[in-house]
Amino acid sequence: LRVTVTHKILEESVEWLRYDFREQTENSAVIALSWEKRMIPFKVEVNTQKLQIAAFVNDFKTTRPPEDYIQAANYCLRHNIALDTALAWMDRAIYFRIMGQKTFRTFSTKAAILLKLERKQEADALMQEALPLGTAMDVHFYARTLLTAGQTQAAFTVFKSNYEKYPEEFVTNVGMGRAHSAIKEFKKANTYLRQALPKAPDNLNKTSVERMIEDLNQNRDINVPRQ
C-alpha cells in the first residue's frame, strides 16, 4: 500500500512503534502510525453496507437456518437497504421446504419489510398470521410498536386480544394499562396496572409500574416519556 501522507510532530516521544485507529465511523477509520516524535495518519474507507450485503448473499448460497435470514433482514431494515433482497430471504426463512419455519419472528420480520416497502395491507395480513404464534411478550412488544407508529386503535385491539388469551400474566395487564392510557381512559388503565403490580417479576418492573401508576393519578399518558 502506498499513500500520500502528512507527517505530524508529536509533543512527546513514542518509544515503541504504535498504530492507533482514530475517528472511527461505520465506513472509515484513520490509521495513525506513531514513533518517536512523528505521527503519520492515513484514512481507510470502505462501503461497509455493500460488503455486508455481499457477505450475506455469499453465505446464503447454501441452506441456512431461519435465524440467519432474520439477522440479515434486520440489518437491511436498520439501514433501509436491499429491502427486496431481504424480502426474498424471509420467504426462504418461512417457506423453504427443508428449514423454513412459520413463527412469530419470521412472519413479523417479513411484515416489517413489507411496511418499509409501503405494502401495509400485506404486512397487516401477515401479522394476523403471526399473532397467534407469538408469546405474550412477543405480542405485547408488537402492540407497543403500533402505539409508537401512532396506530392507537390497532394497538388497543392487539393488547386486548393478548390479555384475553393470557389474563393472569404481568405483561398483559401492563399492556391493557397502556392501551387504556393511550385513549385517555386513565382510571381503567390504573385498574389494570394495580392488578399487574403484585405480579411484577422483579424490582425493576415493580418500580416501573409504580411510576406509571403515579403518572395515571396525575392524568398523564404513560406511553409518553416524562419530560
Instruction: Express each pLDDT in 99-158 by its tens digit.
Output: 899 999 999 999 999 999 999 999 999 999 999 999 999 999 999 999 998 999 999 999
Contact 80, 61 (CB under 8 A): no
pLDDT confidence tier of residue 87, bands split at 50, 70 and 90: very high
The tens digit of pLDDT for each residue in 166-207 reads 999 999 999 999 999 999 999 999 999 999 999 999 999 999
Which has the higher per-residue pLDDT, 97 or 214?
214
pLDDT for residue 196:
97
Over residues 78-95, the mean pLDDT reads 96
DSSP at 27: S
pLDDT for residue 91:
96
DSSP 177-226: HHHHHHTT-HHHHHHHHHHHGGG-SSHHHHHHHHHHHHHHHTT--TTSPP
Give the contacts of 179 (CB within 8 A, at least 6 positions apart).
Answer: 143, 155, 156, 159, 160, 189
pLDDT for residue 173:
98
pLDDT for residue 97:
84
Which amino acid is located at 203 in the chain?
N
167 CA to centre of own chain: 27
pLDDT for residue 128:
94
pLDDT for residue 98:
82
The tens digit of pLDDT for each residue in 9-25 reads 999 999 999 999 999 99
Give the contacts of 154 (CB within 8 A, at least 6 positions apart).
Answer: 146
pLDDT tops 90 at residue 46: yes
pLDDT tops 90 at residue 31: yes
CA angle 115, 112, 51 (to 5 degrees): 105
First to last CA, the chain: 53
